[in-house]
Chain A
C-alpha cells in the first residue's frame, strides 16, 4: 500500500481538504441538537418567539454551510480518487508491458488483467470512500460524546458505556461473519463448479448416462450452500436487533439520569432532548463506519495485489546501447551449447544444443509435445534467456543487442494466432508501419491469405474483432504469417503456424516461402513430418536434446525417433493383423 501512495502525492491538497471539509460538515451537524436545546430551554421557557425564529435561521444557515462543505469535500475526494486510479493504471500497464515472457508465464495473463481492472477499480472506490468517511464517522461518534460531556458529564458517562458496547457488537459480529462469508463463497464456488462441469462435459455425461448422479451431486452441494447461508444469516442478522436494544436502552438510561439531574436543577429539559438526539446520531454513523471498514479492507487487499504486480521484476536485462549484427554474416543463427530452463522448473527444457543456420536456409524443428521446440525458437528473438551457452544472431550474442533492434530482424508467427482489434491493414502494419499496399498484398499472397482478404467486403479495411474472432483459425494463422512477412524479416520463425491449415494450403505456403525475394532464414516448427521433408536441415528434438540432425533422407536412415514419427504418420502399424481380420 505504502508504495502506491506515491501516486497520491500529486493530490496531497485534495487529500487534506476533502476530509477536513467533511469534518467541518459533521461539526455543523453536531451543533443542531444544541440549537434545539436552546430553543426549548430559552425560547419556549421564556416564551420568546423571535428567539425561536432566530434559532431557526441558525439551523438553516448550519444546513447551508454544511452542504457547501460537503460539496467541496466530495469534489476533491472524487478528483483525488479518480486521478490516483488513472495514474496507478498507467504505471501498472506500462510495467506489465515491460515484463519478460518468463514473468508473464509465471503470473498468468488472467491475473494481470484482474489487477489492471477490478483491483484498481476497487482501489479507486476505497480511496474515495476513505477520504469521505474514514474521518467523518469517528468524528461524529466521538464528537457526540464530547458534546454530551459539555452538557453534563454524569449523563455523558452513559455514552462512555454505550459506544464501546455498540462497537463490540458491530465489529464483533463483523469479525464473526467474515470467515463465514468466505465459507459461503466457497459453497457458491462448489455449486458453480458442478454447474460448469455439467455444461462443459455435457456430451460425456450424456454419453455415459450420468445425468442422474450428477443432478444428485448438484442438489447436495446446493443444499449445503443453503444451510451455510442460513447459519451465516442467523449471526449477521443479530446486528440490527442488538444495536437497536443498546441504543434505546441508552435512551432509557438518559431519561432516568436526566430525571434525577433535572430534579436537582443541574440539567434542563432541553438538554435532555439534546442528549437523546446525540444518542440517535451515533448509531447511523457507526453503521456507516462498519460498512466503510469492510470496503477499505477489500481495497487494501486490492492495493496489496496491485503493488505486488508493480513490484514484479521485469525479469530480463537489456543493453541500452547494444551491438549491431552484420546482416550479411553467412551464419544467420548459431547456437553454441545452449541450455535453457524455465524458472522454477526442475530440469532443463533444452540441453546442450549446438547448430548453425546458414543465411537463407530452411531449418525444420520436429519432436513431440514438450520436447522443447518452441523453447528453441523463442531463444532467437530473446523471448527467453538461455541458462547456459550462447545464441548468436548475425554473429552477435543476442544478449548484446538492443532488444528492439534484435526483434526487428526477426519475424515471428506464434503458435496461437493472435490478431488485434482494428482493420486488417492495421494488423498487418504491425510488421512495418511504413509498408505500402503493394507490400501488404505481396505478403498476403505468400501467406496464402490474399483470397481471404479479397473475399471480405471491406478488403484491407475489413474490421477485425477482438482476438480476431470473426476469422476462422486457419484464416487467422495465414494473416499472422502475412503480418510477420510484412516486416521482411531476416529470420522468419513459424512456430507450428500451419497446424490449422489443410495439407494443400500448407504445401502452397511452403512453396511460396521458398520464392521470397530476400531469401530469409526460415525456422519451421512442426509435428508433421510432411511439412519439413524438404528443409535444408532438420533438428529432431526429444526431451530437450537433439537426437537427430540432418536432411530428411539422412534422418530416416540414422534417427530412430524421426523414423518413429514419420512412420506413425505415413505407415500402417500392424498392417498384417488388420487386413486379415
Chain B
C-alpha cells in the first residue's frame, strides 16, 4: 500500500523526536549495538573456521586430526558465544521496542485527556485510534527492526569485505562488482511493480466500497429488486481486480527468482575464479569454501538494507502521525489563580459570540440571564445546534467573545473541575463504560455507599431492572452498555447524575426509540431531579417545552427567538410555526 511521503525536513524532525524517546533507554541500546557487532563477527568467523577445517582434510591418510580438533573446539565456542549474543540482543531490542511503544501510548493518552473538544470533534475516533494503536506498533517495530538491520547489515558487508580481502583481493573485487547487480534487478522490479500495486489497491478500494454499500444497504437492494444489477456492477469490478491483481502478484513475485539467479551467477563466478586460484596455488580449498559461503551471505544484507529504507520511511510516516497527536496543542489550562466555583444557580451569557469555524458565525452578541431554579428549554429542528449551548455551558468549547458566567463569575476564572462538578449532565447518546453497573453509577461519586447507590437508583426508577440483572449491581456491562436497552441505558445515566446531584442540570430528552412506559419513568426521574435546580433541557416534548421558564428557539445554529411559551406564540414567528404544524390537517 502506498503511504504518504514526508518531506525531508519533517522526516528529519520526526526522526529526531523519535530518537529522543528511544534514547531514554541508552544502556540497552548500547548493549544491543555491541551484541549485534558480536553476532556479525561470530557468523563471519565461522565460515573461515569451516574453511580451515576443510583444509585439514586433504585426502586419505592426509588428515591433520590435532589441528582439526582444535578448530572444531574453537567453532563450538564461537557458536555458543554468537548464539548467546543473539539471544541477548533480541532481548534488548524487545525491551526498547515495547517500552518505547508503551511510552508513546501513555503520552498520547495523557494528551487525549487534555485535548480541546474541538480537536476530538473534528477528528474521527477511528483515525485517532489507528494512530494510538496501529501506528505506534508500526513505528516501534519498523524503526527498531530497521535500525538493527541497517546496523548489522552494514557491519556484515564491511566484515565480509575485510575477511574476503584477507583471503584474496581478486575475488573480493569480483564479488563487489557483481553483487550490486541483484540490487539493480530488485529495484528495477520494485519500480515496475509499484504502479501495478497502486492500481490493485485502487481497484480493491473501489470493490470494498461497493461491497460495503451493497451489503450494508442490502435490505434496500432487495426491497427494490436490484440484486441482479448489483451483481452485474460487482462483476465488472471483480474482473478488473482479477486482471490487475494477477499482474501485480506475478510481477512482484519475480523479485526472488531474479535476485536468486543473479546470486547464482555470482556464486558460479566465485567458484570458477576460486578454483583456478587454488590450482595456481594462491589459495586453499578451505578458503574457496569460505569464499563461497561468503558469496552466499554477502547478498543477503544488501537485500535487507534495500528493504530497510522503505521500512524506515514508513515507520517515520507513522511516527509523524503519532507525534501529531502527542504534540497537538492542549486546551487552555485553568488560570493559575482559578477559584473553586461555588454555584448559586445563576447562569448567564454576557454578550457571547461563538462559532466553530470563523467563516460560519453562529452565536453573536448573545445575552441570557437564568435565575436560580429556572428551567431553560432548547427547542428547534434536529441539527440546529442545541449541543452548542451545552458545549459552552460545560466549557467544552470556549466562547470567542463575551463570557459565560455562573454565580456571576466568568467560567474561565474558575477551575474546570469545579465548574463541571456543578452540573449534572444526561445526554441523549447514553455513554456507559465497560465495567460493572456500580462502577458506572459511581462515576461522579467514587466513594458512594451501597445505600446511597440504591437510593439514587430507586429515585431514577433503575433499581428494579438492575436487580433483575444476573449479578445485580455487580453485573458487568459491555462496551457502550452492551445488552441493555436504550431506555435502560438512559435510566442508568440518570441514576449516575442522581447519585451526586449537582446544583445545575443539563438534560437531553430522547427523541425516539424508547417505549412509552420507560419514557414516562424517565420523565418522572427528570422531574424529581429538576426540583429546585437550574436546568437546561434539550426538549422535544411539548409538555416539557410549555413548562419551561425560558425557551430558546434555535435554527441553523443560531438562537433566533427567546421567551416563554405564551410570549413566543404571541410573537407568531418560527416557534409558533413549529408548534402549530403539529395540529395541522
Contacts and interface: CB of A to CB of B under 8 A. Distances in A.
Given A381-B223, A473-B383, A237 B87 contact: yes
Smallest CB-CB A-B distances: 3 pairs? A368-B515, A265-B60, A233-B94
A47 interface: yes
Contacts of B132: 191-192, 195
Interface in B71-106: 71-72, 75-76, 79-80, 82-84, 86-87, 90-91, 94-95, 98-99, 101-102, 105-106
B469 interface: no
Contacts of B420: 206-209
Contact of B79 (A244, A369, A371, A408): A244
A46 B192 CA distance: 47
A153 interface: no
Contacts of B98: 226, 229-230, 233
B249 A78 contact: yes
A215 B113 CA distance: 8
A540 B356 CA distance: 44
B249 A527 contact: no
A25 B204 CA distance: 33
A211 to B, nearest CB: 4
B515 A370 contact: yes
A154 interface: no
A39 B80 contact: no
Contacts of A530: 582-583
A351 interface: no
Interface in A196-219: 196-204, 206-211, 213-215, 218-219
Given A193-B434, A218-B106, A269-B285, A255 B514 contact: no
Contact of B578 (A201, A259, A420, A504): A504
A256 B76 CA distance: 12
B231 interface: yes
A399 interface: no
A206 B57 contact: no
A93 B227 CA distance: 10
Nearest to A578: B547
Contact of B547 (A75, A213, A572): A572
B516 A568 contact: yes
Contact of A36 (B231, B235, B292, B485): B292
Nearest to B52: A255
A421 B91 contact: no
Interface in B287-308: 288-289, 292-293, 296
A215 B99 contact: no
A375 B546 CA distance: 35
26 contacts: A32-B267, A40-B288, A59-B264, A70-B256, A83-B242, A85-B242, A90-B234, A97-B218, A97-B221, A196-B129, A198-B113, A202-B120, A210-B443, A215-B109, A226-B99, A237-B87, A255-B53, A367-B516, A368-B519, A420-B214, A420-B217, A430-B224, A467-B217, A503-B578, A565-B516, A569-B541
Contact of A499 (B76, B421, B511): B511
B394 interface: yes
Nearest to B255: A74
A200 B289 CA distance: 64
Interface stretch (A158-166, A272-280, A336-344): A272-280
B59 A268 contact: yes
Given A128-B249, A199-B112, 11 more contacts: A47-B279, A67-B257, A109-B218, A208-B444, A219-B106, A229-B94, A237-B94, A241-B82, A270-B285, A369-B486, A570-B543
B267 A67 contact: no
Interface string B233-260: 0110011011001100110011011101
Contacts of B480: 200
Interface string A93-105: 1101111010010
A255 B57 contact: yes
A245 B113 contact: no
A103 to B, nearest CB: 10
Contacts of B101: 226
Interface string A226-257: 10011001100110111011001101100110
Contacts of A474: 381-383
A219 B107 CA distance: 10
A295 interface: no
Contacts of A98: 227
A368 B517 contact: yes
A146 interface: no
Contact of A39 (B125, B254, B271): B271
B567 interface: no
Nearest to A121: B204
B209 A466 contact: yes
Contact of A496 (B99, B239, B512, B581): B512
Contacts of A203: 117, 394, 396, 425, 427, 431
B72 to A, nearest CB: 5
A369 B382 contact: no
Interface residues of B, number: 155
B59 A244 contact: no
Interface in B191-208: 204, 207-208
**Main secondary structure on chain B at its contact with chain A?**
helix
B452 interface: no
B91 to A, nearest CB: 7
Given A245-B80, A252-B76, A226 B264 contact: no
Contact of B215 (A113, A215, A269, A412): A113
Given A40-B288, A93-B231, A109-B218, A238 B249 contact: no
Interface stretch (A48-56, A137-145, A355-363, A446-454): A48-56
Interface in B467-509: 479-480, 485-487, 496
B335 interface: no
A302 to B, nearest CB: 16
A383 interface: yes
Interface in B44-73: 46, 50, 53-54, 56-63, 65, 68, 71-72
A96 B218 contact: yes
B173 interface: no
Interface string A53-73: 101100110111011001100
B542 interface: yes
B527 interface: yes
A277 B523 CA distance: 83
B451 interface: no
A71 B382 contact: no
B68 A272 contact: no
A52 B276 CA distance: 8
Contacts of B485: 369-370
Contacts of B264: 32, 59, 62-63, 66
Interface string A176-199: 000000000000100111011111
B54 to A, nearest CB: 6
B523 A383 contact: no
A480 to B, nearest CB: 8
A269 B54 contact: yes
A36 B268 CA distance: 9
Nearest to B261: A67
Contacts of B446: 213
B525 to A, nearest CB: 12
Contact of B487 (A101, A369, A404): A369
A218 B109 contact: yes
A564 B516 CA distance: 8
Contacts of A67: 257-258, 260-261
A259 B57 contact: yes
A188 to B, nearest CB: 7
A414 interface: yes
B417 interface: yes
A44 B275 contact: yes
A270 B71 CA distance: 19
